[in-house]
Amino acid sequence: MSNEFTKQLMVRPGKKVKLSKYDPEDALGWKKGHETNVSLKKTLATLDRLQSLLYADHKSALLIVLQGMDGSGKDGTIRHVMSGVNPQGCQVTSFKVPTAEEAAHDFLWRVHHAVPEVGDIGVFNRSHYEDVLIVRVHKLVPKEVWSQRYDEINDFESMLAENNVKILKFFLHISKEEQKKRLLKRIDDQNHQWKLSEADFHERRFWADYMAAYEDALTKCTTDAAPWFIIPSNKKWFRNLAVSHIIAETLENMHMRFPVPTIDVSKLKFS
């Protein structure tokens, strides 16, 4: 599996992120068409094979974090990239407004509860990063509270990594104009109108604040143990291609093995 996407899209530790320097239209030279479709199909087949190996090896888990503005394609990424994996070994968790019980605990309590067990893949549709994004933008807690959470998140993710949870974090980067196009398309499509909410339009007023919050999260919380990837996502087909390649390459590099049979298969006979 080529490491082209990993090398070019990973945020390196110590690098200060300025999102205006990342083009959400970029496709790294790839073109929409037959070659891309073939590559995606092969990669999804590889994901299916590697998920079976992850389950059989039963020593590690894979946690995939998806973040992005409304309309950036978190649901679409899950639907297309994870389409070929066995649902028995893949759990998707969507983090909404905390319940009363969740709010009564520390902000990582509900997140830790959703971490996949060994052998499984877990996908977070939004995540613990909401507590340094929307919480920051809307001043839901004081700055002295949310500003400490970057270190707490890094410590949490480091602890998971030390306990054999491989973490991949994807920021689905779209432009404000592309978001507008997608929201307008939902308005015109009766099958997608149900996904609309007033909040989708209200939050656009805070676009610059969200970009600043994302820049800090991407800068302060990309580590060797839990790297961030900035995925240009104006082109949905490239988003799916890039995310699938990075996940497949990561699984391949985990050096998993099928376990040795517990019985002597040469002695098995049909009655």
Largest CA distance in the chain: 72
Give the β-pairing of 61-68 and 165-173: parallel
CA dihedral over 39, 40, 43, 48, signed as positive or negative: negative
The pLDDT assigned to 270 comes to 81
Q: How many Å apart are CA 252 and CA 69, to the nearest integer?
A: 30
The answer to whether the pTM exceeds 0.85 is yes
- In the chain the domains, ranked by start, together with CATH numbers, are 4-255 (3.40.50.300)
- Positions of E strands within 134-183: 165-173
CA dihedral over 257, 261, 267, 269, signed as positive or negative: negative
Condensed to tens digits (0 to 9), the pLDDT of residues 74-116 reads 999 999 999 878 888 999 999 999 999 999 999 999 999 999 9
Write the CA distances from 117 to 31, 53, 74, 114, 224, integer angstroms.
37, 15, 22, 9, 21
Condensed to tens digits (0 to 9), the pLDDT of residues 162-171 reads 999 999 999 9
Can you read off the two tokens belonging to residue 181? 């196009």
Confidence check: pLDDT of 2 > 70? no
Can you read off the two tokens belonging to residue 150? 């970057």
